[in-house]
Amino acid sequence: MVRRGLVVLGACLAPSAALAHAGEAHVAVDFGRAFSFDLYVVLPMLLAALIYGAGVARLWGRAGRGRGVETWRAGCFAGAMLALSLALIWPFDVLGGMFLSAHMAQHLLLTTAAAPLLVLSAPLTAALWALPLAARRAAGGIAHAAGVRQGWRYLTLPLFAWAFYAVSLWLWHMPRFYEAAAGDELVHMLEHLSFLASALVLWWAALLSARTSALGAAAGIFLLFTTGLQDGLLGALLTFAPRPLYASYAEFGHLLGIDALADQQLAGIIMWIFGGFIYLGAALTLASRVLLAPDRDSPPLGA
């Protein structure tokens, strides 16, 4: 089973290859041209980068480099933009329409790379400093309004964050909804937004809880640990399923000479191993910070 999955992985990593043929029709995958340049993806990313860069530049210009937004947080934002580019521009958005394993890698880039890096990059601080002084004060007043603060508090509750992510994860991997996303670009976009939004709330809640107290850190650890178990469980179900669960990949599997079941098994392994271990690794990191700094009110990691 794993050997068959690794064959698919090797095919995906080839720079450009004629993977197989159906009858006399040879189908080649040119990975160098696997770009998906959609304006509704590219423009928001460019806008976010401009706002973040302008805010950090203004803040550092007044307070000094690394003040307000540390340099490592700016590096996190750059890493998040790279992860989003890999997932949504090149190459996984195109490959995800052909291989379930590539689609799974795309989802993991959104939920376990882009989302936590965005949270750690202090985006709200940078965005506020990108505004003119009057607008910054107005935004600060809105943010401190009782209704906004209460709503944000509920949104980032660990239980709500866990449930939001769990619903997104399991709902979009149900064959009916997965096939709907595969066959409709608008639904596909909604799927990606759902994954990214739920992961942002999850990581924000976990890291925000970790900053409040040792008890809050324990809540963050539990949140990440149980989320890792969820990813592992779904990955195991995909890996050991006796038949392909998503019919939309059967056509591409036939044209490319890829066994759809092997591709699904590889997708399950990617989610099981990589997804599960990233969440578990983050939970262990938080736990180690609590254990190594027992006298501090909060670990030195968070949004």
Kindly report whether the peptide bond that precedes residue 91 is cis, defined as omega within 30 degrees of 0: yes
Neighbouring residues of 44: CB distance < 8 A, sequence distance ≥ 6? none
Predicted local confidence at residue 294, as pLDDT: 55
Q: Tell me the domain boundaries of the chain.
A: 39-133+148-292
CA neighbours closer than 13 Å in the CB half-sphere of residue 283:
19
Structural contact between residues 205 and 302, judged by C-beta atoms closer than 8 angstroms: no
Chain centroid to Cα 303, Å, comes to: 16
The pTM of this model reads 0.85
Query: For residues 151 and 281, what is the distance between their CA atoms, to the nearest angstrom?
Result: 30
Structural contact between residues 165 and 201, judged by C-beta atoms closer than 8 angstroms: yes
C-beta atoms surrounding 28 within 10 Å: 11
Model confidence band, residue 288 (pLDDT cutoffs 50, 70, 90): confident
Query: For residues 275 and 227, what is the distance between their CA atoms, to the nearest angstrom?
Result: 9
Predicted local confidence at residue 38, as pLDDT: 87
- Give the tens place of pLDDT for each residue, 176-208: 999 999 889 999 999 999 999 999 999 999 988
Structural contact between residues 27 and 20, judged by C-beta atoms closer than 8 angstroms: yes
Percent of the chain with pLDDT over 90: 57
Collapsing DSSP to helix, strand or coil, 18 comes out as strand
4 vs 171 pLDDT, higher one: 171
Model confidence band, residue 290 (pLDDT cutoffs 50, 70, 90): confident
Asked if pLDDT for residue 257 goes beyond 80, the answer is: no
Instruction: Enter the tokens of residue 42.
Output: 């590219």
Query: For residues 208 and 190, what is the distance between their CA atoms, to the nearest angstrom?
Result: 26
- Give the tens place of pLDDT for each residue, 237-247: 999 999 999 98
Helix axes 185-212, 158-173, angle to 10 degrees: 150
Model confidence band, residue 30 (pLDDT cutoffs 50, 70, 90): low
Predicted local confidence at residue 215, as pLDDT: 77
Asked if pLDDT for residue 224 goes beyond 80, the answer is: yes
Query: For residues 238 and 226, what is the distance between their CA atoms, to the nearest angstrom?
Result: 19
The mean of the pLDDT values for the chain is 84
Beta pairing class for 25-30 and 16-22: antiparallel
Least confident segment among 23-32, 35-44, 271-280: 23-32
Pick from 91, 89, 81: nearest CA to 46: 81
| Phi and psi, residue 27, nearest 5° | -115, 125
Chain centroid to Cα 28, Å, comes to: 29
- Give the tens place of pLDDT for each residue, 48-73: 999 999 999 999 999 999 999 999 99
Predicted local confidence at residue 295, as pLDDT: 54
Model confidence band, residue 5 (pLDDT cutoffs 50, 70, 90): very low
